[in-house]
C-alpha cells in the first residue's frame, strides 16, 4: 500500500502556497469536459461540490436525505474556529496550529494542521460573503467565544446553531450551481459500492431509496464527504442516519483505513436514561464558557444540588487543570467525568452524571445574557429532561460524538485509490488522536471550499482522460455485488431485528472499546463481534422488498457494515499499545491517570488494508515527523 503523504518541501508556513503553485492546472475550457462525483452534501460535500462546479467541472452530488440541507452538519451547535485574532488576545495561525497538534496528542501531520490553521481565516470571509449570520459584538466585529484546549477566544458562532447557518450558506452556493446546471443533485440516493477501473476510482453504485432501483454513475474522479462513523456505538450524538457504508465499501475496494480506534467521546451530553433510548443529545461545549462542572465531594450524596454547600462541591476540572479549568479538552474532561462517577460521586439516576452549573454565571451576567448566548440549548435541555437549567444545574455525561479515524488521505486529500478523494469527517486527516472543539466545521469547510478545488485539478491534469463504458465489466460487477448483497440480506430466514443486533454491537463496543480500553476487554470483543456478525447473517430479519422504499433494508445494510468496522476498531485499539488522546488504554497511564504515549513505537498513523473476506487486514504505518512542534507530554495543568 502506497502511503506517500506528498507533504510539500520547504518551510512549514510556505508549504501550502508553494504547493498551490506547483499543482497542475486545468484550463477553464477543459474543465467543462471533466465530471466529478461528490457523495455527501454536508459542509464538506456541499462546499466541495459548489466550489468544483463554480470552477466549471460537471458535478453529480448524492445524499441519502430528502434534501442536502438535512445533512448531519446542520446539528453542529457551538461554533467554528479561525485564527482571526479579533479579540486581540494573542491568537495567530501558529497558535491555532500548535493548539491543534497538541490537542490531537501529537498524532496528526504537522503540514496538514498548519494548512488548516492558515485557511481558517479565509473560511470566515467566505461564509460571511455567503450570508452566514455570525454573532456580532457591540462594535460590529464578529464575536468570538472559547472552546476546549485553547486559552484564546477564536470560535465564531451563530448562537447554538452554527452548523445550521453554515450549511444554509453552503447549500445556497450548491443551489446556485444546481440552478446553473453545473451540479446534478441526487437526494434519497445511497452509495453502496465504489467502481474501480484499472486501479482508479471511476464511479459509484447507488440505490434510489424511494424506488429501490440500482444505478451506476461514472465520472473522472470520485469524492466521499460522507461524515463520521460515531454511530457504531449505537447511542451517540450523531444524527440517526450517520453511518459508515460509503467509506467501508471503499475500504473493501482497497482504500486504506487510518486510525479507526480514534473515536471522540464528548463530555457534555444528556445522560442515558434507559434501554428504550435510540439517540443521545449533545449540550454544546460552548456551555463550558460559563457553566461550571462539579460533583459532590462525598460519595453517594443524594441531596438536591442547591442544598449542597459550596465547600462540599468538587469543581474537579478547575481543581485538576487550573490553567484550562472547565475548558480542558474533550478527552480529558470525559475521562475526568468517568473517574468521579466510577468513584461513586456521580449524580442523577444510576450515578452516571455530573453537574454543569450556570448559577454563578447567571448571578454575574444576568439570566438574559445567558439566554441570549445559549437560549436554544437551554430550551432543548428542558424539553428533553423537564428540568429548567436556569434554576437547577444541567446533568451531563460523556457520549460518542465524532470520529478522528477515517479513510487515509495524502496532503491532496486523495486516498490510496487514485482518483478517490475523501473530505470532512470521513477522512482521518487533521485531528490526530483527539479533536478540539469547533475544529470539525473548520476542517470540513477547509477541505470543501479551499483544498479540493486545487488538488482535484492537479489529479485530473495529470491523468489521461479515458471514458468508461456503462457495460464495462468493473461496472456490471459492482452493480451485481450490490444486488447480491441485498438479496442475501432479504433472504436470511431470521428472527432478530437489525436494531437488536445494532444495539448489542453498540453496547459491546462502548464497554470494551469506548472511553477506556484494555487488552483483556479488546481480546474479548474480538471474539464477540465476529460471533455477533455471524449470527446477524444467520438470524436477522429484514422485512419488505428490494424494489421499494425499505427502511428495514437500509438499516440492515448499515448495521452489517458497522459489524465489520467494529472489529477493525478493536484490532486497531489492541495494536496501539499506548494511550494517546481519546485512545485510553488503561495499561498505559501516568500515576495521576493521564494518557501515557509511547512515541518510540507509535508516533505514526496506523493504516489498515483489507485482504478479502475472512482474512485478517494488514496494518501499515505512516511515520509522523515533528519538525516544528517538539514532541512533549501534553499537559493542561
CA end-to-end distance (rounded Å), the chain: 41
Of residues 62 through 91, those in contact with ligand FAD by CB under 6 A are: 62-65, 71-73, 75-80
| Spatial contact of 206 and 82, defined as CB atoms under 8 Å apart | no
* Of the candidate residues 226, 259, 512, 579, the single one contacting ligand FAD (CB under 6 A): 226
* Of the candidate residues 38, 43, 451, 529, the single one contacting ligand FAD (CB under 6 A): 43
Integer Cα distance of 415 and 128 in angstroms: 31
287, 283, 257, 525: which is closest to 404 by C-alpha? 257
Taking CB under 6 A as the rule, does residue 190 contact ligand FAD? yes
Residue 143 sits at φ, ψ, to 5 deg, of -85, 155
Taking CB under 6 A as the rule, does residue 439 contact ligand FAD? yes
Q: Is 398 helix (H, G, I), strand (E, B) or coil?
A: strand
* Of the candidate residues 58, 146, 238, 259, the single one contacting ligand FAD (CB under 6 A): 238
Taking CB under 6 A as the rule, does residue 253 contact ligand FAD? no
Taking CB under 6 A as the rule, does residue 288 contact ligand FAD? no
Taking CB under 6 A as the rule, does residue 441 contact ligand FAD? yes
Q: In terms of DSSP H, where are the helices of 130-244?
A: 162-180
Nearest distance from C-beta of residue 608 to ligand FAD, angstroms: 20
Q: For ligand FAD, which is the closer residue by CB, 122 or 518?
A: 122
Q: Which residue is nearest to ligand FAD (CB)?
A: 42
Distances (CA, A) of 187 to 195, 403, 527, 532: 20, 24, 39, 33
Catalytic one of 69, 200, 249, 330 = 330
Taking CB under 6 A as the rule, does residue 424 contact ligand FAD? yes
Q: Which residue has the cell 496528526?
A: 108
Integer Cα distance of 218 and 555 in angstroms: 26
Mode of pairing for the β-strands spanning 200-208 and 189-197: antiparallel
Stretch that binds ligand FAD, among 239-247, 359-367, 508-516, 628-636 (CB under 6 A): 239-247
Nearest distance from C-beta of residue 329 to ligand FAD, angstroms: 14
Stretch that binds ligand FAD, among 39-47, 270-278, 374-382, 495-503 (CB under 6 A): 39-47
x/- track of binding to ligand FAD for residues 560-599 (CB under 6 A): ----------------------------------------
Integer Cα distance of 606 and 621 in angstroms: 5
Q: Which residue has the cell 438499516?
A: 555
Q: Which residue has the cell 445574557?
A: 369
* Of the candidate residues 270, 282, 394, 475, the single one contacting ligand FAD (CB under 6 A): 282
Taking CB under 6 A as the rule, does residue 40 contact ligand FAD? yes
Taking CB under 6 A as the rule, does residue 402 contact ligand FAD? yes
Q: Is 278 helix (H, G, I), strand (E, B) or coil?
A: coil
Q: For ligand FAD, which is the closer residue by CB, 154 or 620?
A: 154
Nearest distance from C-beta of residue 42 to ligand FAD, angstroms: 2
Describe the strand order of the beta sheet including 618-623 as a list of residue ranges.
Answer: 406-407, 257-258, 604-609, 618-623
Q: For ligand FAD, which is the closer residue by CB, 26 or 150?
A: 150
For residue 265, what are the β-bridge partners? Answer: 400
Mode of pairing for the β-strands spanning 292-296 and 354-357: antiparallel
Q: For ligand FAD, which is the closer residue by CB, 26 or 214?
A: 214
Taking CB under 6 A as the rule, does residue 444 contact ligand FAD? yes
Q: Considering CB under 6 A, how many residues would be counted as binding ligand FAD? A: 45
Mode of pairing for the β-strands spanning 420-422 and 189-197: unpaired
x/- track of binding to ligand FAD for residues 168-187 (CB under 6 A): --------------------
- Residue 81 makes CB contacts below 8 A (sequence gap 6+) with 96, 120, 147, 150, 154, 155, 156, 436, 438, 439, 442
Taking CB under 6 A as the rule, does residue 401 contact ligand FAD? yes
Nearest distance from C-beta of residue 52 to ligand FAD, angstroms: 15
Q: Is 330 a catalytic residue?
A: yes
For residue 621, what are the β-bridge partners? Answer: 606
* Of the candidate residues 15, 16, 31, 45, the single one contacting ligand FAD (CB under 6 A): 45
Q: Is 470 helix (H, G, I), strand (E, B) or coil?
A: coil
Q: Grid coordinates representing 498? A: 437489525
Q: For ligand FAD, which is the closer residue by CB, 191 or 317?
A: 191
Taking CB under 6 A as the rule, does residue 451 contact ligand FAD? no
Q: For ligand FAD, which is the closer residue by CB, 208 or 609?
A: 208
Q: For ligand FAD, which is the closer residue by CB, 80 or 232?
A: 80
Q: Is 319 helix (H, G, I), strand (E, B) or coil?
A: helix
Stretch that binds ligand FAD, among 57-65, 301-309, 450-458, 604-612 (CB under 6 A): 57-65
- Residue 113 makes CB contacts below 8 A (sequence gap 6+) with 97, 100, 101, 104, 430
Of residues 132 through 171, those in contact with ligand FAD by CB under 6 A are: 162-163
298, 310, 388, 404: which is closest to 351 by C-alpha? 298
Stretch that binds ligand FAD, among 37-45, 82-90, 494-502, 541-549 (CB under 6 A): 37-45
Q: Burial, 302: exposed, middle or buried (Cβ in 10 Å; 0-12, 13-18, 19+)?
A: exposed
Q: Grid coordinates representing 107? A: 498524532
Q: For ligand FAD, which is the closer residue by CB, 26 or 167?
A: 167
Task: By CB under 6 A, name the binding residues for ligand FAD.
Answer: 39-45, 62-65, 71-73, 75-80, 162-163, 190-191, 225-228, 237-238, 242, 245-246, 282, 284, 401-402, 424-426, 438-441, 444
**What positions carry a catalytic annotation?**
330
Amino acid at each position: 500500500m502506497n502511503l506517500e503523504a506528498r507533504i510539500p518541501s520547504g518551510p512549514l508556513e510556505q508549504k501550502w502556497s508553494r504547493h498551490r503553485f506547483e499543482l497542475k492546472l486545468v484550463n477553464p475550457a477543459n474543465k467543462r469536459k471533466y465530471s466529478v462525483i461528490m457523495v455527501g452534501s454536508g459542509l464538506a460535500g456541499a462546499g466541495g461540490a459548489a466550489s468544483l462546479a463554480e470552477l466549471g467541472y460537471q458535478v453529480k452530488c448524492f445524499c441519502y436525505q430528502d434534501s442536502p440541507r438535512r445533512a448531519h452538519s446542520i446539528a453542529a451547535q457551538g461554533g467554528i474556529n479561525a485564527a482571526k485574532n479579533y479579540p486581540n488576545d494573542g491568537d495567530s495561525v501558529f497558535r491555532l496550529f500548535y493548539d491543534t497538534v497538541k490537542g490531537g496528542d501529537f498524532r496528526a501531520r504537522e503540514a496538514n494542521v498548519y494548512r488548516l490553521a492558515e485557511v481558517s481565516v479565509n473560511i470566515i470571509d467566505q461564509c460571511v460573503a455567503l450570508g452566514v449570520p455570525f454573532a456580532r459584538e457591540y462594535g460590529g466585529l464578529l464575536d468570538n467565544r472559547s472552546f476546549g484546549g485553547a486559552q484564546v477566544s477564536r470560535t465564531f458562532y451563530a448562537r447554538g446553531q452554527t452548523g445550521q447557518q453554515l450549511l444554509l450558506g453552503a447549500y445556497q452556493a450548491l443551489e446556485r450551481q444546481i440552478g446553473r446546471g453545473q451540479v446534478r443533485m441526487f437526494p434519497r440516493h445511497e452509495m453502496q459500492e465504489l467502481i474501480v477501473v484499472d486501479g482508479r476510482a471511476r464511479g459509484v453504485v447507488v440505490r434510489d431509496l424511494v424506488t429501490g432501483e440500482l444505478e451506476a454513475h461514472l465520472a473522472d474522479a470520485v469524492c466521499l464527504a460522507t461524515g463520521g462513523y460515531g454511530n457504531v456505538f449505537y447511542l451517540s450524538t450523531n444524527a440517526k442516519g450517520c453511518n459508515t457504508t460509503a467509506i467501508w465499501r471503499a475500504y473493501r475496494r482497497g482504500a486504506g483505513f487510518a486510525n479507526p480506534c480514534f473515536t471522540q467521546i464528548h463530555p457534555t451530553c444528556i445522560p442515558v436514561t434507559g434501554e428504550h433510548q435510540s439517540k443521545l443529545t449533545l449540550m454544546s461545549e460552548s456551555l463550558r464558557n460559563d457553566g461550571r462542572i462539579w460533583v459532590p465531594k462525598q460519595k453517594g450524596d443524594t441531596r438536591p444540588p442547591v442544598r449542597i454547600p459550596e465547600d462540599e462541591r468538587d469543581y474537579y476540572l478547575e481543581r485538576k487543570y487550573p490553567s484550562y479549568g472547565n475548558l480542558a479538552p474533550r478527552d480529558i474532561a470525559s475521562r475526568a467525568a468517568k473517574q468521579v462517577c466510577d468513584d461513586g460521586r456521580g449524580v442523577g439516576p444510576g450515578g452516571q452524571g455530573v453537574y454543569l452549573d450556570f448559577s454563578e454565571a447567571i448571578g454575574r451576567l444576568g439570566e438574559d445574557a445567558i439566554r441570549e448566548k445559549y437560549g436554544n440549548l437551554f430550551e432543548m435541555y428542558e424539553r428533553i429532561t423537564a428540568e429548567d437549567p436556569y434554576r437547577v444545574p444541567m446533568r451531563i455525561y460523556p457520549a460518542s460524538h465524532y470520529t478522528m479515524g477515517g479513510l487515509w488521505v495524502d496532503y491532496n486529500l486523495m486516498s490510496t485509490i487514485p482518483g478517490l478523494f475523501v473530505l470532512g469527517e470521513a477522512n482521518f486527516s487533521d485531528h490526530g488522536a483527539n479533536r478540539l472543539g469547533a475544529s470539525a466545521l473548520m476542517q470540513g469547510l477547509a477541505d470543501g471550499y479551499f483544498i479540493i478545488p486545487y488538488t482535484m485539478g492537479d489529479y485530473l491534469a495529470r491523468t489521461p482522460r479515458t471514458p468508461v463504458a456503462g457495460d464495462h465489466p468493473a461496472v456490471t460487477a459492482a452493480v451485481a455485488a450490490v444486488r447480491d448483497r441485498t438479496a442475501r440480506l432479504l433472504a436470511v430466514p431470521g428472527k432478530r431485528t437489525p436494531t437488536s443486533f445494532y444495539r448489542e454491537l453498540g453496547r459491546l463496543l462502548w464497554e470494551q472499546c469506548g472511553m477506556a480500553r484494555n487488552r483483556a476487554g479488546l481480546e474479548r470483543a474480538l471474539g464477540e463481534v465476529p460471533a455477533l456478525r455471524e449470527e446477524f447473517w444467520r438470524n436477522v430479519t429484514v422485512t419488505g422488498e428490494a424494489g421499494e422504499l425499505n427502511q428495514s433494508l437500509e438499516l440492515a445494510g448499515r448495521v452489517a457494515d458497522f459489524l465489520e468496522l467494529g472489529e477493525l476498531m478493536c484490532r486497531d485499539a489492541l495494536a496501539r499499545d499506548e494511550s494517546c488522546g481519546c485512545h485510553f488504554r488503561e495499561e498505559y497511564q501516568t500515576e495521576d491517570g493521564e494518557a501515557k504515549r509511547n512515541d518510540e513505537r507509535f508516533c505514526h498513523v496506523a493504516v489498515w488494508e483489507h485482504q478479502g473476506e475472512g482474512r485478517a487486514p494488514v496494518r501499515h504505518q505512516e511515520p509522523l515527523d515533528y519538525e516544528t512542534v517538539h514532541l512533549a507530554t501534553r499537559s493542561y495543568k
